């Protein structure tokens, strides 16, 4: 990035409310919006938590009628989105409140688009393919990872054709309000904290070194890296650590706010194929690939790696740029290791025969998309080398 010579822009469309018991803000926010009827969207597990009960209490206090759609599933199947749309239309809901992880928030985003624009989610696949503003929604995340509460994209799973696709809109795709209450993370299992946390870290990391980074996104990315690397370990150890949970939620949204502008690079390019291939979560897939991609990308922007190392608490005094930058890679591996995510693809059933088709899949998307984002130019053979590095 050669600023200030390049023209850059940054925008976000979500009001972010952060802090312990910030969920109580649901009541005044609802009174402000005045919806005729609200639809609460969630999965079956979150309904068993005290945090969910609190959310419902605050909705009741606002005095607007509401219905509950508790059929949200992981990976956002099209069939669930369509089912939610039926309920929204039948009940005449004017506002959606998504209480859950990334899949729940993505379901609300997609349903909102389909209800106002018609058709199926597939009809709106791609970027800015719909014109009518979707039904507004409030996001209340219960994981710190996808940052869907502030991004303009939703990832949907077409289960019939076994393909995932995105629906995005820079202006219309974001939540109206995101309420980040650390109490929402209390029921999150440590494995989910770690995997979601590494997804969040990777968003901040990849947006910081993106070719599309600008001064505004860099500030968000770097602070995201700092907050996540300082707070992932304590939250993994104790989900009731309010301070760590608040900082993880804040750090995750910062990465999301940045990558909405910058995109993500080779970790996501490879990770998006590794997840379905090895049947592992997106967070685990990116954590497996991240150290290998960091080693590969390091030569393209060593000064940025020095800043990452410093943000992660490494002492770089007296070191050359190259020595100091390498400390970022070491710090990433230590963070992975401390939350039990220093894993290799071989341990999850990856075979050497998978290298070539996996590299080809990555190369196909690189040419279309990632070459404009990833800081180091990448060939198909480079992808094979990175995959080998992440393999064992
Ligand atoms: Fe991600």
pLDDT digits (tens, 9 = 90+) for 199-250: 999 999 999 999 999 999 999 999 999 999 999 999 999 999 999 999 999 9
* Confidence label for 3 from pLDDT (cuts 50, 70 and 90): low
Give, as one character, the DSSP assignment of residue 77.
B
My answer on whether 214 and 134 are in the same domain is: no
Counts for the chain of helices (H) and strands (E), in that order: 13, 9
My answer on whether 234 and 120 are in the same domain is: no
- Residue 317 Cα to ligand 1 midpoint, Å, equals 32
Q: Is residue 330 part of a domain?
A: yes
Q: Which residues contact 391 (CB under 8 A, 6 or more apart)?
A: 344, 345, 346, 350, 352, 355
Higher pLDDT, 302 or 12: 302
* Confidence label for 1 from pLDDT (cuts 50, 70 and 90): low
- Residue 274 Cα to ligand 1 midpoint, Å, equals 12
- Residue 267 Cα to ligand 1 midpoint, Å, equals 9
- Residue 31 Cα to ligand 1 midpoint, Å, equals 34
* Confidence label for 9 from pLDDT (cuts 50, 70 and 90): confident
- Residue 94 Cα to ligand 1 midpoint, Å, equals 30
- Residue 146 Cα to ligand 1 midpoint, Å, equals 6
Number of independent structural domains in the chain: 2
- Residue 272 Cα to ligand 1 midpoint, Å, equals 8
Q: Is residue 9 part of a domain?
A: no
Q: Of 151, 185, 219, which closes a domain?
A: 185
- Residue 282 Cα to ligand 1 midpoint, Å, equals 7
Q: Please state the pTM of the whole predicted model.
A: 0.95
- Residue 366 Cα to ligand 1 midpoint, Å, equals 16
pLDDT score for 5: 64
Q: Of 185, 209, 228, which closes a domain?
A: 185
- Residue 176 Cα to ligand 1 midpoint, Å, equals 21
- Residue 64 Cα to ligand 1 midpoint, Å, equals 35
Q: Of 185, 209, 239, which closes a domain?
A: 185
- Residue 58 Cα to ligand 1 midpoint, Å, equals 31
pLDDT digits (tens, 9 = 90+) for 16-60: 999 999 999 999 999 999 999 999 999 999 999 999 999 999 999
Q: Give kind and range of the element (H or E) at residue 53.
A: helix 50-62
My answer on whether 138 and 194 are in the same domain is: no
My answer on whether 177 and 240 are in the same domain is: no
- Residue 206 Cα to ligand 1 midpoint, Å, equals 10
Q: Is residue 2 part of a domain?
A: no
- Residue 286 Cα to ligand 1 midpoint, Å, equals 7
Average pLDDT, the chain: 96
* Confidence label for 4 from pLDDT (cuts 50, 70 and 90): low
My answer on whether 222 and 261 are in the same domain is: yes
Residue 311 is part of which domain span? Answer: 190-391
pLDDT digits (tens, 9 = 90+) for 144-157: 999 999 999 999 99
- Residue 200 Cα to ligand 1 midpoint, Å, equals 7
Closest CA to 190 of 339, 351, 41: 339
| Residue carrying structure tokens 């690079």 | 265
- Residue 164 Cα to ligand 1 midpoint, Å, equals 14
Domain at 285, CATH number: 1.20.1090.10
My answer on whether 145 and 19 are in the same domain is: yes
| Residues 137, 37: Cα–Cα separation, whole Å | 12
- Residue 59 Cα to ligand 1 midpoint, Å, equals 31
Domain at 38, CATH number: 3.40.50.1970
* Burial class (CB within 10 angstroms; exposed 0-12, middle 13-18, buried 19+) of 246: buried
| Residues 392, 389: Cα–Cα separation, whole Å | 6
- Residue 235 Cα to ligand 1 midpoint, Å, equals 19
Q: Is residue 291 part of a domain?
A: yes
- Residue 315 Cα to ligand 1 midpoint, Å, equals 28
Determine how many CB atoms are found less than 10 A away from the CB of residue 187: 17
- Residue 145 Cα to ligand 1 midpoint, Å, equals 8
My answer on whether 216 and 158 are in the same domain is: no
Q: Which residues contact 357 (CB under 8 A, 6 or more apart)?
A: none
Which residues are placed with Cβ below 5 angstroms of ligand 1, an ion? 199
């Amino acid at each position: 990035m050669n600023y200030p010579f390049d023209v850059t822009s940054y925008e976000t469309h979500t009001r972010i409310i952060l802090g312990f018991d910030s969920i109580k803000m649901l009541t005044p926010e609802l009174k402000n919006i005045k919806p005729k009827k609200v639809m609460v969207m969630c999965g079956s597990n979150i309904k068993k938590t005290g945090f969910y009960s609190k959310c419902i209490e605050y909705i009741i206090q606002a005095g607007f009628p509401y219905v509950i759609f508790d059929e949200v599933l992981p990976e956002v199947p099209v069939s669930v989105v369509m089912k939610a749309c039926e309920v929204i239309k039948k009940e005449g809901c004017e506002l959606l409140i998504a209480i859950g992880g990334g899949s729940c928030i993505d379901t609300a985003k997609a349903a909102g688009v389909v209800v106002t624009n018609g058709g199926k989610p597939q009809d709106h696949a791609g970027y800015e393919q719909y014109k009518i503003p979707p039904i507004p929604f409030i996001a209340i995340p219960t994981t710190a990872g996808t940052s869907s509460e502030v991004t303009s994209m939703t990832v949907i799973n077409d289960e019939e054709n076994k393909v995932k696709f995105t629906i995005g809109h820079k202006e219309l795709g974001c939540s109206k309000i995101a309420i980040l209450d650390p109490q929402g993370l209390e029921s999150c299992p440590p494995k989910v904290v770690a995997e979601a946390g590494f997804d969040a870290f990777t968003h901040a990391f990849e947006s910081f070194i993106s070719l599309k980074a600008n001064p505004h996104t860099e500030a968000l990315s770097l602070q995201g890296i700092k907050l996540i690397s300082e707070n992932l370990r304590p939250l993994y150890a104790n989900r009731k650590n309010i301070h760590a949970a608040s900082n993880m939620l804040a750090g995750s949204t910062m990465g999301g706010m940045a990558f909405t502008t910058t995109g993500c690079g080779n970790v996501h390019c490879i990770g998006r194929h590794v997840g379905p291939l090895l049947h592992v979560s997106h967070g685990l897939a990116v954590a497996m690939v991240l150290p290998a991609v960091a080693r590969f990308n390091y030569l393209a922007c060593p000064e940025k790696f020095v800043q990452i190392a410093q943000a992660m608490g490494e002492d770089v005094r007296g070191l050359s740029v190259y020595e100091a930058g390498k400390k970022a890679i070491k710090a990433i591996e230590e963070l992975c290791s401390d939350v039990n995510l220093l894993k290799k693809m071989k341990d999850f059933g990856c075979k050497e025969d998978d290298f070539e088709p996996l590299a080809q899949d990555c190369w196909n998307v690189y040419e279309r998309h990632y070459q404009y984002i990833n800081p180091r130019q990448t060939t198909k053979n480079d992808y094979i080398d990175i995959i080998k590095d992440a393999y064992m």
